[in-house]
Amino acid sequence: MSKKVSLRIWRGDKDSGEFKSYETEADDGMVVLDVVHQVQATQAPDLAVRWNCKAGKCGSCSAEINGMPRLMCMTRLSDLPEGEPITVEPMMAFPIIKDLVTDVSWNFRVKQTIKPFKPRPPDAPDGTWRMDQRDVDRVQEFRKCIECFLCQNVCHVLRDHAKHETFIGPRFFVHTAALEMHPLDTEDRVPALKDDYNLGYCNITKCCTKVCPESITITDNAIIPLKERVVDRFYDPVRRLFRVLSGS
C-alpha cells in the first residue's frame, strides 16, 4: 500500500544551506534512503546523497534522521513517527560537500596516526601463531566496524567542541582497542592514548554506543578498558611504585 511521506531535506553547500520540503509516495517496507532516492529521481535531480550497498555494510549513507545519527538505508519508515515530516540532514561533525554528503576524510587521516599492528614472532616454524579463541573473540567485536562514522558524528567532543585536532574519537578508540588488546600485538599505545589521542576527553556518555549500527559496545568494551589501562600506567600510584620496585 503506498502512502504519502513528507520530508525535510537539508540542501546546501559549505557556505550556506537550508531545509527544503518534499512530498513523495512510499510503499511498505521502504527505508529513508528509498524515499530520498525517489525525491532525487522525480523532483530534485541535483540532490547529492552518498550510498553504495543499501545493506548497512558500506557505511556510506550516514546522515541525521529526525536529529539522530543513523544509516539512511537501515532506517525503516515504519520505525519513524507516522504522519510527521521526516528530517534528513548531513552529519554535523564534518564539513559539507553538498546536500547530504559530508567530507569524512579527516577520519582516514586520523587512522594513519595510529600505530599499526606489530605481532610477536610466529609461534610455530611454519610462520603461524596460536591464540586462544576467547582472546580472539574479545577483539572480534571491534572488527565489525563499517566506518560509517556515526559515532564520531554524535560524540560531543567532536560535534560540539570540535576537538578534531587533538581527539581521535570513538571509532578510533575501537580501532586502537582492536590492536591494543590483540593477543599477538606487541606495540604500546597507552602513552599515545593519554597524550596524543586524548582519551581523557571522553566523558563516557555512551552516545557513540547508542548510534553504532553494528551494535559495537564502544564505551563499555573499548573505551573504558582503555581508560583503565591508562590509569594503570599513569594515575595509579601503587602500581607505579610496584613498577619502580620491580623494575618493570
Partner 1 sequence: MAEAARPRKVRLFLVTERKDKWWVTPLLTFLGLSTFIVYVTWAAFQNANYTFGPYLSPLYAPEIFGHSPHAWFGPPPTWWPGMIPFSPALLILPFPAGFRFTCYYYRGAYYKAFWGDPPSCAVGEPRKSYLGERYFPLIIQNIHRYFLYAALVFIVLLAYDAMLAFRFPDGIHVHVGTLVFCTNVVLLGGYTFGCHSLRHIVGGRKDQLPKDAVGRACYDCVSGLNRRHQLFAWCSLFSVGFTDVYVRMCAMGVWTDARLF
205: left (phi over 0), alpha (psi -120 to 50) or beta: alpha
Q: Does 39 bind ligand SF4 (CB under 6 A)?
A: no
Residue from the set 191, 204, 242, 243 that interacts with partner 1 by CB under 8 A = 204
Q: Which has the closest alpha carbon to 20: 89, 102, 72, 73?
A: 89
Residue from the set 114, 174, 178, 226 that interacts with ligand SF4 by CB under 6 A = 174
Encode 213-226: b = buried (16+ Cβ within 10 Å), e = exposed. bbebebbebbbbeb
Using the 8-state DSSP alphabet, how is residue 136 labeled?
Answer: H
Q: Smallest distance from the beta carbon of 49 to ligand SF4, in angstroms?
A: 18
**How big is the site for ligand SF4, counted in residues (CB under 6 A)?**
28
What's the rounded Cα separation, in Å, for the pair 75 and 5? Answer: 14
What's the rounded Cα separation, in Å, for the pair 238 and 242? Answer: 6
Q: Does 98 bind partner 1 (CB under 8 A)?
A: no
Using the 8-state DSSP alphabet, how is residue 76 labeled?
Answer: B
Residue 56's Cβ-side half-sphere holds a number of Cα atoms within 13 Å equal to: 12
Residue 196 interacting partner from ligand SF4, partner 1, ligand FES, none (CB closer than 5 to 8 Å by kind) = partner 1
Q: Smallest distance from the beta carbon of 74 to ligand SF4, in angstroms?
A: 11
Q: Does 199 bind ligand SF4 (CB under 6 A)?
A: no
Q: Does 30 bind ligand SF4 (CB under 6 A)?
A: no
Q: Which has the closest alpha carbon to 63: 104, 23, 26?
A: 104
Closer residue to ligand SF4 in complex, CB, 110/212 = 212
32 to 71: interface string for partner 1, x by CB under 8 A: --------------------------------x-xxxx--
Residue 212 interacting partner from ligand FES, ligand SF4, partner 1, none (CB closer than 5 to 8 Å by kind) = ligand SF4
* Residues at the interface with ligand SF4 (CB under 6 A): 145-151, 154-155, 157, 170-171, 174, 202-208, 211-214, 216, 218-219, 223
